Amino acid sequence: MIHAKINGIPCEVKEGTTILEAARQIYIEIPVLCKHPDLAPTAACGICIVKAKGTNKMLRACCTPIDEGMEIITHDPEIIEVRRSVVELIMSNHPNECLTCGRNQHCELQDLCGNFGIRDNAFENTVSKEVILDTNRALVFDPRKCITCGRCVQVCQEMQNVHALCFIERGYKTVITSAGVSLSESPCVKCGQCSAHCPTGAIVEYDETGKVWDLVKAEDLHTCVQIAPAVRVAIGEAFGYEPGANLTGKLYAALRRMGFDAIFDTNFGADVTIMEEASEFVSRFRDGGDELPLISSCCPAWVDFMERYHNDMIEYFSTCKSPHEMLGVLAKTYYAKQQGLDPMKIRMISVMPCTAKKWEIRRSVEMSASGYQDVDVSITTRELARMIKQAGIDFKHLPDEECDQLLGGYSGAGTIFGATGGVMEAALRTAQDLLTGEELQTVEFKQIRGLAGVREAELEIAGKPLRIAVAHGLANVESVLDKVRTAKEAGEATPYHFIEVMACPGGCVGGGGQPYGITDEQRKKRAAGLYSEDEKLKHRKSKDNPHVKKLYDDFLGEPLSEKSHRLLHTNYQPRATYAR
């Protein structure tokens, strides 16, 4: 343990603890801009400077370990003036467009300007007057607003192993670029983790709220909406709730007041996904052949990554569409038939924690299996929060309401889809019953919960060993797939029978379209909100959902039938790869 003083207050911390971390342990906040809890410190911005008493040194608190006997001063007039100058220098190369910026009121640079009382330009503004925007219709990149803190580069290269963003040039000419090409031509998989970690408005989601409002007010259209599992435990953060507060009923009420004609729940789509994916797994597992492992395909950023960099694994990918796509096609077929509606007049809006869903809805011809584009618009949790505020809805005082049950009633298995490991656990709940022919009481598989980058387990089902792996954060999937390749090349048994991958750390609860300020603490609380709801629901297995049973009885027939394959499944193609 290290013993030191910060602002005269004694502290005792583990060896290797940085000054920044030590200060936070005794409730002293040192301002930061480039440092994020998910990322290793880079000391790029210089705002976290502090003094070591008895020396003339100013140290960067984010990357400097505190030593035995150190006496640190974190705030005095000189330090504050230096920090103020750093912010003013950053602002000299930053556009004054706060009112029209996508991060207005949620910008870390804006907060610092407010805290330091910066009201005018201390230095000549050198920002180009030319508006430079780059978009792939999932994300928007405005390099004029970039402060070269490097967070997005760290996330893209180290956390996600995508390498769509990088630094070029040196010194004051340093810029961040999308691999020297446009964003749409880059290796970007649209996961949105860059936007979730960017402190300014340099990278934001592609806003489609105006398009949604146009669809809602069109009197000749029947506009439906669905909400993803992870949205309900995160959107409250935009209205003053703690992370993890489950606000499903209030969300239904808000959407109804906004004017949507039908309110559905993606959790229902998740239950249908499990019926198809668990059946797919059981079929492969019983054969025990070369078709294993089965790899989950619910995450569009992971699908994009796989088609680019791991397309030798296509044969192992589940052909199931993601839950919101399944619900989209069912809305324009099953729901349209049940309600006597013209599918050409139905519009489906998905509210997702994800920016990659904006790409997924146009990914391939199978995403129009109804004869029309199955999901018309996908917006993020952040976009919906803005729309609720635009509608003048007092979210906190809304009563809880129900969704439309035909495509809305769900099981606990459907709701845990939003957390890493949730797809695997939901699938196992149904797969074990299908394999044994019994109604087993085991519904919780806690060994695959948590935030470790890769989690492995071996279970026994129907007298057979079942080896599973769960990975989240794209950089973590490489080791799992390498084990599969090595075994296949050696002619050995597969090390895993079932693999779940989610692109975003924490799974969908940590998606690139969720409220800003993501940390592991938030990911844990949001996931806990989903597991808490699961425990309270009457039905905790997808196959027990009465609404899903009715769907198969009245429309689909059975899982993996010809109709379900045509409507609910897709295929994959190798696509352009990039050197990483």
Give the mean pLDDT of 319-323: 97
Question: Which residue is catalytic, options 277, 307, 425, 500?
Answer: 277
d(C-alpha 360, C-alpha 338), whole Å:
27
Give the pLDDT of residue 208: 97
Residue 280 bears catalytic tag? yes
Give the pLDDT of residue 281: 94
Tens digit of each residue's pLDDT (9 = 90 or more) over 414-442: 999 999 999 999 999 999 999 998 888 88
Residue 266 has pLDDT above 90, yes or no: yes
Tens digit of each residue's pLDDT (9 = 90 or more) over 448-473: 999 999 999 999 888 889 999 999 99
Tens digit of each residue's pLDDT (9 = 90 or more) over 352-390: 999 999 999 999 889 999 999 999 999 999 999 999 999
Give the pLDDT of residue 349: 98
Residue 411 bears catalytic tag? no
Burial of residue 350 (CB within 10 Å: 0-12, 13-18, 19+) is buried
Question: Which residue is catalytic, options 195, 296, 297, 318?
Answer: 318
Task: Look up residue 549 and give its two tokens.
Answer: 């049973």
Give the pLDDT of residue 439: 87
- Mind listing the domains of the chain with CATH numbers? 2-75 (3.10.20.740), 102-205 (3.30.70.20), 210-568 (3.40.50.1780)
Give the pLDDT of residue 170: 82
- Got the DSSP string for 318-370? --BPPHHHHHHHHIIIIIHHHHT--GGGEEEEEEES-STHHHHTTSSGGGGTT
Tens digit of each residue's pLDDT (9 = 90 or more) over 95-121: 999 999 999 999 999 999 999 999 888
DSSP tally for the chain: helices H, then strands E = 19, 18
Residue 456 bears catalytic tag? no
Tens digit of each residue's pLDDT (9 = 90 or more) over 544-556: 999 999 999 999 9
What single letter denotes the amino acid at residue 482?
D
In angstroms, the first-to-last Cα distance of the chain is: 40
- Got the DSSP string for 365-405? GGGGTTSS-S--EEEEHHHHHHHHHHTT--GGGPPP----G
Tens digit of each residue's pLDDT (9 = 90 or more) over 284-309: 998 776 789 999 999 999 999 999 99
- Confidence tier at 578 by pLDDT (50, 70, 90): low
3 state SS of 311? helix
Give the pLDDT of residue 580: 60
Pair type for strands 203-205 and 139-141? antiparallel
Cα 127 to Cα 89, 92, 130, 132, 351: the distances in Å are: 12, 7, 9, 11, 35
Question: Which residue is catalytic, options 35, 51, 321, 357?
Answer: 357
Give the mean pLDDT of 323-344: 97
Average predicted confidence (pLDDT) for the chain:
94
Residue 242 bears catalytic tag? no
Residue 204 has pLDDT above 80, yes or no: yes
Residue 169 bears catalytic tag? no
Question: Which residue is catalytic, options 21, 205, 276, 280?
Answer: 280
With beta carbons less than 8 A apart as the criterion, state whether 507 and 449 touch. no
d(C-alpha 367, C-alpha 375), whole Å:
8
CA atoms within 13 A on the CB side of 131: 7
Task: Look up residue 292 and give its two tokens.
Answer: 């294993």
Residue 318 bears catalytic tag? yes
d(C-alpha 199, C-alpha 214), whole Å:
31
3 state SS of 464? strand
Give the pLDDT of residue 85: 95
Question: Which residue is catalytic, options 508, 525, 533, 541?
Answer: 508
Question: Which residue is catalytic, options 276, 307, 325, 360?
Answer: 360
Percent residues over pLDDT 70 in the chain: 99
- Confidence tier at 340 by pLDDT (50, 70, 90): very high
- Confidence tier at 575 by pLDDT (50, 70, 90): confident
Residue 181 has pLDDT above 80, yes or no: yes
Give the pLDDT of residue 380: 98
Question: Which residue is catalytic, options 88, 158, 291, 366?
Answer: 366
Give the mean pLDDT of 214-239: 97
Question: Which residue is catalytic, options 152, 298, 299, 320?
Answer: 298
Residue 484 has pLDDT above 90, yes or no: yes
Residue 173 bears catalytic tag? no
Query: Cα Rg for the chain, rounded, in angstroms?
Result: 25
Ranges 149-153, 266-270, 518-522, 576-580: which has the least confidence: 576-580
Q: Specify the pTM.
A: 0.95
Give the pLDDT of residue 579: 58
Task: Give how far the C-alpha of residue 12 lies from the chain's centroid of Cα atoms, to the nearest Å.
Answer: 36
Cα 24 to Cα 61, 80, 442: the distances in Å are: 11, 18, 42
Give the pLDDT of residue 335: 97
Residue 360 bears catalytic tag? yes
- Residues 449-481 as b/e (b if ≥16 CB within 10 A, e otherwise) read bebebbbbbebebeeeebbbbbbbbbebbeebb
3 state SS of 175? strand
